[in-house]
Amino acid sequence: MVRVFFSAGLRNLTGGAANIEVEAGTVKRLLAELDARYPGMAERLSEGTAVAINGEIINDALYEPIPDGAEVHFLEALKGG
């Protein structure tokens, strides 16, 4: 299991949940699991969102393995002007 943390901007899709545990071995599988629980989540996360696994921000993380017990954070791009 991995623990996934959601920023305040994503919690409207999770019913307010700040974090959950999910069984997933790769970021791609994690996105599929999240989208199954929270429809629209995968599309939202694919739009300029970085992934941090155990504190390391990973570019092009789709096929990145996720070790069991990891903490995963999705970091939305800053918006504004």
Domain at 58, CATH number: 3.10.20.30
Domain that holds residue 22: 2-76
Q: What is the DSSP string of the chain?
A: -EEEE--GGGTTTTTT-SEEEE--SBHHHHHHHHHHHSTTHHHHHTTTEEEEETTEEESS-TT-B--TT-EEEEEEPP---
User: pLDDT by residue (tens digit) across 40-69?
Assistant: 998 988 777 889 999 999 988 888 999 999
User: pLDDT by residue (tens digit) across 3-54?
Assistant: 999 988 889 999 999 999 999 999 999 999 999 999 999 898 877 788 999 9
User: What is the reported pLDDT for 30?
Assistant: 96
> How many domains, the chain?
1
Q: 6 φ, ψ to 5°?
A: -115, 135
Q: How many Cα atoms are found within 13 Å in the side-chain-facing hemisphere of 71?
A: 9
55 falls within a domain: yes
81 falls within a domain: no
39 falls within a domain: yes
Nearest Cα neighbor of 24 from 75, 76, 72 is 72
